[in-house]
Structure 1
C-alpha cells in the first residue's frame, strides 16, 4: 500500500515522462491501446466525466507506469495479444475483480498481482482506479532469477495469478515509492550504475512477493551458499526427476555419504533429498498442466512425465501441495 505519496502527488510531479491527460473517451482508449502494447480499455457504458492520467518512470529495464482511469462506472481491460513482458499491478485507489479457478478474486490497495505475458485474464475495474504497473523485460527477470537460484532457468517463469499481500508485497510497494521519490529529488538516480541496482532490488522484491513456480526453490535456499555436494545433488534431481530415482542414486551422484547429504539438505535447504525431489516433480507438473491446454496432454501424461508411476499417489501429493486436484488445474486453464 502506498503510504508516503498519493496519486495526486504522482500526477503533479515532474518525475519521469510528461503527464498525459485526456477527458476524451475516444482519445483515451486509443492512447491506452497504443501505450500498453497488448491491452485494450473497454468501458461498459459511456458516462460523463471520463478521465485518463498517465505518467511513466524508467528504472533500468523496468517501466513503472502510473495510471488513473475514471470512466464514471465499471470498465474492463482485455489482453488482445502477448505483450512480451511480465507485469505487476499495485493498486493505489479503487479495486479490480477477475475470475480464476472457478473463484472470484478482488485486488485492491495493500495487494499486488503479478502477470505472465502468455496468460490472458480479463479484469474488471471499479472507477476511479489508480495503479502502478511494473512492466519487466522477460530476459531481465530471468537473469535475476537465475542469479538468485544459482543455475540457468530451464522452465519458463510462471507467476500464480492470485493477489498477494503481506510484508513482501508491502516492501515491493514501498520500493516503488522509494524509486519515485528518489528520482523526484534529483538526477543522481538516473545514473546507469544506480539505476542498475534499483532495477535489481525491484526484481528481487517481485520474485519474493509474488508466488511462482520457482518460489519453493527460492525459499528452500538459505542466505548461506550451500556446499557443492548439495548443489550437485539438486542439479542431478532436476535433470533426472522423470526417472525412478532412488536415494542411493542421489547419494552416489553427490559424492558424499548419505549421512552427510542428509545433513547438508537439512542445514541449507530445511528439507530432505527425497522431499526436494517430490517438490521439484510437483512444481514441474503444475507448470505442465497450466500449459497443457495449448501444448496438449493429460493428467496421466504429466504424472508419468515427472516420474510418478501411480496416478493415485500423484493426485494425492498434488492436492496436498496445491489444494486442488490435477484435473482441476487442467480444467480451469482450459476454460480461461
Structure 2
C-alpha cells in the first residue's frame, strides 16, 4: 500500500477556495486535480471550493460557460453529482451524459477521459486508493488494488444513485476529522462501501460460487462468539469488518453470514450497539463529562444520528442519562 500511495497520492491541498476565470482558472483546476485537464473554451467565471478530510474530499465546482476537456488520468477516483446543467464524459468508446440530479464515475487512476459541458455546477467526491482498498478488504481480503475495475461508470440503478447522493449529502456536512481516527476510519470505509454498491465492479460482481459455499459453511455460532469477544476487547479501536474477520479466521463475507444467521444483524451493527452501551455507561459513571465527550470517545461523529440511535435503544435522550447520573 505504501508504494500505491506514493504513486497515487491524495488531492494536493487540504482546503481550496477559488473564484476567477480565463487562464488563471485553467491553471487552478489542473493544480487542484493533480493532472492535466487540457481545458478549452472561453473559461468564464469559475468557482471551486474543496474540503479535504484526508483520503476523502468534497468539492463544489461551478463553470458558467461552455468548456471541453481531454484529461490525463487522475490519481484518485472522482464521482460527479450534477447539481445544475449537464456534463458529458467519454472513456474510450463509452460516453455517459448526465444532467441535473445525475451521478457518474468520471475519473480515476489509469483512466484518461474527455468530455464537455455547456456551463454547469457539480459536486465532486474524490476517494483515494487507500480508502477504496480498505473497503474492498472488508469484502475480499488481500484483493490486489490494481485488479479493481468498474464495468460501468453510471449507478447500477436509479435507487443506487439516490443512495449515493443521500450518503454524500450527509457525510459532506459532518465528516469526522483526522483528530478522531476511529470515526474517520469508519466514515471513510462507509463511503468506499457505498461507492462499490453504487457502480458495477469486479469485486462485488465476480465472486466464484465455491467461495460463497465455503463462506456459508464457515458462518457458525463459534465464529460469532469469537467476533463478540474480539469486539468487546477493543471497542474503542478502529474496527473494520476486515479486521474483525481476520481476528476470527474467517472471511468478511462469512462473518456477515454468521451474524445475520445467528444474531439477525450485521457485525458492524453489533459494534455500534456495544459502543452505544459503553457511551451510556460513561454517562452514568461520570467518566464522560458531556454527551459529546462520551459519543466521540466511541466513534459517534454525527450528533443527530447518535441521539436518534441512543433514543431508539435506551428510550431516553443521552442528556437525560447524564442529568440523572449527576442528579
Tell me the TM-score normalized by structure 2.
0.54
Specify the alignment match of 1:35 in structure 2: 32
Specify the alignment match of 1:152 in structure 2: 143
Q: Deviations over 1:289-331 (max 9, x none)?
A: xxxxxxxxxxxxxxxxxxxxxxxxxxxxxxxxxxxxxxxxxxx
Q: Deviations over 1:193-212 (max 9, x none)?
A: 22222111111000100112
1:20 paired with 2:18, answer yes
Specify the alignment match of 1:79 in structure 2: 71
Specify the alignment match of 2:55 in structure 1: 61
Residues 53 and 146 (structure 1 numbering): CA distance in 2 closer, same or farther, change over 3 Å? Answer: same
| 2:80–2:103 contact (8 Å) kept in structure 1 | yes
Residues 188 and 28 (structure 1 numbering): CA distance in 2 closer, same or farther, change over 3 Å? Answer: closer
Cα distance between partner residues in 1 of 2:87 and 2:132:
25
Q: Deviations over 1:31-53 (max 9, x none)?
A: 11111111425233x37xx1111
| Alignment partner of 2:189 out of 182, 193, 200 | 200
1:191 paired with 2:180, answer yes
Cα distance between partner residues in 2 of 1:225 and 1:136:
29
Specify the alignment match of 1:180 in structure 2: 172
1:215 paired with 2:204, answer yes
| 1:51–1:69 contact (8 Å) kept in structure 2 | yes
Specify the alignment match of 1:119 in structure 2: 111
Q: How many residues align?
A: 205
1:163 paired with 2:154, answer yes
| 1:85–1:136 contact (8 Å) kept in structure 2 | yes
Instruction: Provide the secondary structure at the position in 1 that maps to 2:139.
Output: helix
Instruction: Provide the secondary structure at the position in 1 that maps to 2:205.
Output: helix
Q: Deviations over 1:160-202 (max 9, x none)?
A: 353225222211111111123225xxx8896332222211111
Cα distance between partner residues in 1 of 2:51 and 2:207:
29
Residues 76 and 150 (structure 1 numbering): CA distance in 2 closer, same or farther, change over 3 Å? Answer: same
What is the CA distance between 1:109 and its match in structure 2? 3.1
Instruction: Provide the secondary structure at the position in 2 that maps to 1:215.
Output: coil
Q: Which structure 1 segments of 5+ residues have no match?
A: 1-15, 230-263, 269-336
| 1:113–1:162 contact (8 Å) kept in structure 2 | yes
Q: How does 1:207-286 map to 2 (within 5 A)?
A: 207-217=196-206, 226-228=216-218
| 1:116–1:158 contact (8 Å) kept in structure 2 | no
Specify the alignment match of 1:325 in structure 2: none
What is the CA distance between 1:157 and its match in structure 2? 0.8
Specify the alignment match of 1:91 in structure 2: 82
Specify the alignment match of 1:293 in structure 2: none
Instruction: Provide the secondary structure at the position in 2 that maps to 1:227.
Output: helix
Instruction: Provide the secondary structure at the position in 1 that maps to 2:216.
Output: coil
Cα distance between partner residues in 1 of 2:144 and 2:39:
36
Specify the alignment match of 1:106 in structure 2: 97
Residues 190 and 36 (structure 1 numbering): CA distance in 2 closer, same or farther, change over 3 Å? Answer: same
Tell me the TM-score normalized by structure 1.
0.53
Cα distance between partner residues in 2 of 1:108 and 1:116:
21
| 2:91–2:114 contact (8 Å) kept in structure 1 | no
Cα distance between partner residues in 1 of 2:81 and 2:207:
23
Instruction: Provide the secondary structure at the position in 1 that maps to 2:136.
Output: helix
Instruction: Provide the secondary structure at the position in 1 that maps to 2:63.
Output: strand
Instruction: Provide the secondary structure at the position in 2 that maps to 1:226.
Output: helix
Specify the alignment match of 1:296 in structure 2: none
Q: Deviations over 1:69-97 (max 9, x none)?
A: 112xx2112223x4322221121111112
